[in-house]
Chain A
Amino acid sequence: METLTYLKNFTEVAEEEIMKPGHVACPGCGAALAMRLALKTLGRNTILIFPACCWAVIDGPFPYSACNVPVFQVAFETAAITAGAIRAGLNATGKKGINVVAWAGDGGTMDIGFGQLSAAAERNDDIIYVCYDNEAYMNTGIQRSSATPWGAWTTTTPGKDFKKEKKKNLLEIMAAHRVPYAASTTIAYPDDLVHKFRKAMSIEGFRIIHIFSPCPPGHKALEKDSILEARYAVESRVFPLYEVEAGTHYTLSKNPPQRPVNDYLSLQGRFRHLTEEQRDYIQKNVNAEWARLMHHMRVSEAITNEHPA
Chain B
Amino acid sequence: MTGRTITRAQLSDAVYQEVGLSRNESADLVEAVLAEITTSLAAGDAVKISSFGSFYVREKGRRMGRNPKTGEEVPILPRRVLVFRPSHVLKGRISTSLVNQPRTET
Q: Say whether A associates with B.
A: no
